[in-house]
Each structure stands twice: as structure tokens, then as C-alpha cells.
């Protein structure tokens, strides 16, 4: 069948296979698979819209026939627009400066892409306006608006292939009025957004071990969700030798006492008559205070979190525990009593906030035990206290160079 007569979804799937998209971006592939692909020569390259609870991927095939290199990067770009809510969330509509909002959305959609793209806007091009990594689209919009007024800059260039960006009237350059109206009517499609979040969360749980922009673009704000845990009062299903795993956490405290078994230095000739006294310092084992961090991001399954809650009941026999629930941010910190029945988070993953010096000092902890699948960034430098990573998957895939590691498996393998 000729390219012209080939169904666009088959055409797209073949090019995704050819560029290795499924292999390199399994989470993204799941998201793209939830889109409905349509032929649309009215768009310059590719576009994303939402209507009736569905996302539609508008494809100009001729562009990719001439520029095959661009398929992976442009697909990532459209996925990011969808996952970030640019197409469906009303907060991106009605901006006082719609072209600047469009620019902010384009920069955010491109931020995590390392594939080749057609000519496009990039984050580093706008550093003079205060734009930095990790900012939200709305933060970037505010900085660009302020920067334009301060520096007298103008923003006329946006990506030709954007549909995440909106201008007055619901159309964009090169887009027909009909397709613009179709897109504009879809910008508050909550059903499409809810369905996408389900797809993203499922994809992360099924293949959440790979680093991906979806950690940051999951579309769920940190702390939005409270996961209720069941069966936490049962015995752990997996074995962890905590006594061995916590060997680096064994602490000691100095204890002062006196001994009278030495001669008196004041009366050295009266040995046996006048006892001498010397101060003796001994070390006694100290019950450690441990910060137990729980990765509550969207990549952690409910079953993993329930098993962690069961493990805590065993771990408390070895130390005093302070619990920190963290996805992309630290959500809650509290003293562990007898059980954890729910956790807050389910957003993206960032392993760094737990190691902030202010938090460690505030709770006066002697070490950190971190339960995680290892799917997020960790601090570049080790903290000045022992750390144990308790991994819910194969520890060989976790590349952090510091801290001890133990796998939460049916048989304990620590190192």
C-alpha cells in the first residue's frame, strides 16, 4: 500500500518502530498509543488537540517523509504538551499576553527533549529573562512578561508545529479556522485529561524503572493524592535482614564512671589502705534515631507502599523512626508510632529534598533509610551521615555511587 493510501496510525507506528521509539520511551509509547492519529495537511508538522474525552494527533505526513529524523523529537514535544495540560487545562486560556503564553508552553514542552527537533525555541535562549530548569509554564510566562517590559524585548518566533499554544480566536499561524475552532473548544476537556493521567500513571507503574521526562511531567501536582493502604498490620511478605542492613547505623555514646582499683596518687606508699580513684570512659550502644523516607511518587505501586508499611513495623525494633513521605517534594514528616495507614504524594520523583540539611538538623537524625524504586534524581554529594537505600527492584539499575543498598526481595541481598 502506498504511503498516501496507508492508514495514518499504521504509518505512524511503522516510523515509531523504525526510530526505536518503543524501545527508548516505553512510557511515552503508552501515551502516544492512547492518541487518535489523523491526517491533517493543514498543520505545518504535527499538532495535538482534545475533544470528547480523546486526544487527537494531527500529522502532516509529507513533512516527515522529507524529515524522517524529526519523528521522535516531535512526538515527545506533543506528548509533553498533553501531559503538561497545555491542551486541556483552563489555566492556560485567557492570558493577557497569549503569544507569550504560547512561548512559555513551547519552552516547557521542549525542555526534556534530547532528540533532534526542527527549528524550535529552547530554554537556554531565554536565560536572560530568569528562565531556569524545573520551572512551571506559568512561572515562565510571568518571567517572560516581566522581562519583556524590563528589557523591551519582543516575542514573535514560536515553533511552527505547535498546537499547545493558543492565540486570540483559537487559531494559530498556518491553521485553518475550522481546525482552530476544533482545538479551541477542547481546551477544557477534563475527561481527556483524566484519561491521560490514568495512562501515564499506569505506564510509570509498569515500566517506572527508566529515567524519563514523565517523572516531572506526570501531570499530577506533588501531594495531590492520598493513597490509602490496606493490610499493613500483616507480616511482611519480603525478607530484609535489618540487623545486618543497619550495620553502618550502629551508634555509641560515651558513659562516664569511676574505678577505685588503682593506687592513690596522693598516698602512693599506702597501697591497700587508701584507694585511688580514676575516671573511666566506656562506650554504650545508643538507640539510633533514623529518618525513614518513603518514595510516594506515581511510579511506586500501591502494593509496594503496603509492603513498605509492613516493613516499618519490623524496622522500629531496631531504631526510633521519623517518617518522611516524598514524591517531588517532602509532603509530610512525623514520628512513627505503630503503623502507616496512608501516604501523601503520587506526583513525580525527586530523591533530593529529604537530604536538605535543614530537615536533617531539625529532626536530629543519625541516618537515613530510603524506600524507593530508584527512579528519580539523587544528591550529587553524599550527606555526612549513613544512608541505606532500600530498593523495591533490582539494585543494579540504581546508579547512585554512595550509601549502602539492600533489595526488598524474597531473599535479602545487600551490599
* Cell numbers 494531527: residue: 58
* DSSP tag of 235: P
CA distances from 247 to 50, 229, 250, 359 (A): 54, 30, 6, 24
Question: Contact at 8 Å (CB) between 368 and 383?
Answer: yes
Provide the pLDDT for residue 398: 86
Query: Per-residue pLDDT averaged across 50-57, rounded?
Result: 87
* pLDDT above 70 for 415: no
Question: Taking the CA atoms of the chain, what radius of gyration do you get in angstroms?
Answer: 28
Condensed to tens digits (0 to 9), the pLDDT of residues 78-127 reads 998 988 888 888 888 888 988 899 999 999 898 878 888 988 888 888 88
Q: Cell for 63?
A: 513533512
pLDDT band at 349; cut points 50, 70, 90? confident
Give the confidence band of 411 by pLDDT, cuts at 50, 70, 90. very low
Residue 165 CA to residue 45 CA, distance in Å, equals 14
* Residue 272: Cβ within 10 Å count: 6
Domain boundaries, the chain: 8-216, 226-247+288-407, 251-285
Concatenate the DSSP letters of all residues of 78-117 into one string: HHHHHHTTTTT-GGGSS-SSHHHHHHHHHHHHHTT--S--
Which CATH number is 226-247+288-407's, of 3.40.50.1820, 3.30.70.270, 3.40.50.410, 1.20.120.1200? 3.40.50.410
**In whole angstroms, how far apart are CA 47 and each of 36, 38, 64?**
12, 10, 13
Q: Report pLDDT digits (tens) over 122-177.
A: 888 888 889 987 788 888 999 999 888 777 666 654 554 433 333 222 223 333 32
- Kindly state the DSSP code that residue 333 receives in the 8-state scheme: E
Examine the pLDDT at 179 and tell me if it is beyond 60.
no
CA dist 31 and 29 (Å) reads 5
Determine the average pLDDT of the residues in 246-251.
75
Q: 276-327 pLDDT, tens per residue? A: 666 665 545 667 899 999 999 877 888 899 999 999 999 998 899 999 999 8
Q: Check residue 281 and give its pLDDT.
A: 58
| Three-state DSSP state, 74 | helix
Amino acid at each position: 500500500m502506498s504511503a498516501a493510501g496507508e492508514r495514518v496510525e499504521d504509518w505512524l507506528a511503522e516510523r515509531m518502530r523504525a526510530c526505536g521509539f518503543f524501545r527508548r520511551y516505553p512510557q511515552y509509547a503508552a501515551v502516544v498509543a492512547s492518541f487518535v492519529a489523523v491526517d491533517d495537511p493543514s498543520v505545518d508538522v504535527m499538532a495535538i488537540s482534545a475533544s470528547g474525552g480523546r486526544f487527537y494527533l494531527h500529522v502532516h505526513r509529507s513533512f516527515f517523509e522529507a524529515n524522517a529524523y524529526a519523528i521522535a523529537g516531535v512526538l515527545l514535544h506533543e506528548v509533553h504538551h498533553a501531559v503538561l495540560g497545555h491542551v486541556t487545562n483552563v489555566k492556560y486560556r485567557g492570558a493577557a499576553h497569549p503569544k507569550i503564553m504560547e512561548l512559555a508552553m513551547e519552552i516547557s514542552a521542549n525542555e526534556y527533549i534530547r532528540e533532534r527537533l526542527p527549528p524550535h525555541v529552547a530554554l537556554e535562549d531565554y536565560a536572560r529573562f530568569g528562565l531556569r530548569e524545573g520551572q512551571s509554564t506559568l512561572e515562565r510566562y510571568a518571567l517572560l512578561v516581566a522581562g519583556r517590559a524590563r528589557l523591551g524585548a519582543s516575542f514573535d518566533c514560536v515553533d511552527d508545529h505547535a498546537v499547545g499554544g493558543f492565540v486570540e480566536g483559537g487559531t494559530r499561524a498556518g491553521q485553518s479556522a475550522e481546525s482552530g475552532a476544533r482545538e479551541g473548544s477542547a481546551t477544557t476537556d477534563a475527561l481527556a485529561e483524566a484519561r491521560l493521567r490514568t495512562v501515564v500513571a499506569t505506564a510509570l507503574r509498569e515500566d517506572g524503572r527508566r529515567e524519563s521526562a514523565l517523572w516531572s511531567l506526570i501531570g499530577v501536582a506533588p501531594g495531590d493524592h492520598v493513597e490509602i493502604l490496606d493490610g499493613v498490620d500483616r507480616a511482611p511478605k519480603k525478607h530484609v535482614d535489618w540487623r545486618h542492613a543497619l550495620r553502618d547505623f550502629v551508634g555509641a555514646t560515651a558513659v562516664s564512671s569511676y574505678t577505685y582499683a588503682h593506687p592513690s596518687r596522693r598516698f602512693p606508699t599506702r597501697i591497700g589502705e587508701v584507694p585511688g580513684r580514676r575516671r573511666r570512659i566506656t562506650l554504650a550502644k545508643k538507640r539510633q534515631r533514623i529518618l525513614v523516607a518513603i518514595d510516594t511518587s506515581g511510579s511506586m505501586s500501591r502494593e509496594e507502599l503496603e509492603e513498605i508499611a509492613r516493613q516499618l513495623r519490623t524496622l522500629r525494633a531496631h531504631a526510633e523512626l521519623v517518617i518522611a513521605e516524598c514524591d517531588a517534594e517532602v509532603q509530610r514528616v512525623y514520628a512513627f508510632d505503630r503503623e502507616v495507614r496512608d501516604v501523601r504524594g503520587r506526583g513525580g520523583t525527586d530523591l533530593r529534598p529529604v537530604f536538605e540539611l535543614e530537615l536533617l538538623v531539625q529532626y536530629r537524625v543519625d541516618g537515613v533509610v530510603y524506600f524507593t524504586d530508584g527512579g528519580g534524581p539523587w544528591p550529587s554529594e553524599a550527606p555526612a551521615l549513613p544512608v541505606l537505600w532500600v530498593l523495591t527492584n533490582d539494585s543494579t539499575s540504581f546508579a547512585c555511587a554512595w550509601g549502602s543498598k539492600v533489595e526488598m526481595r524474597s531473599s535479602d541481598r545487600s551490599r
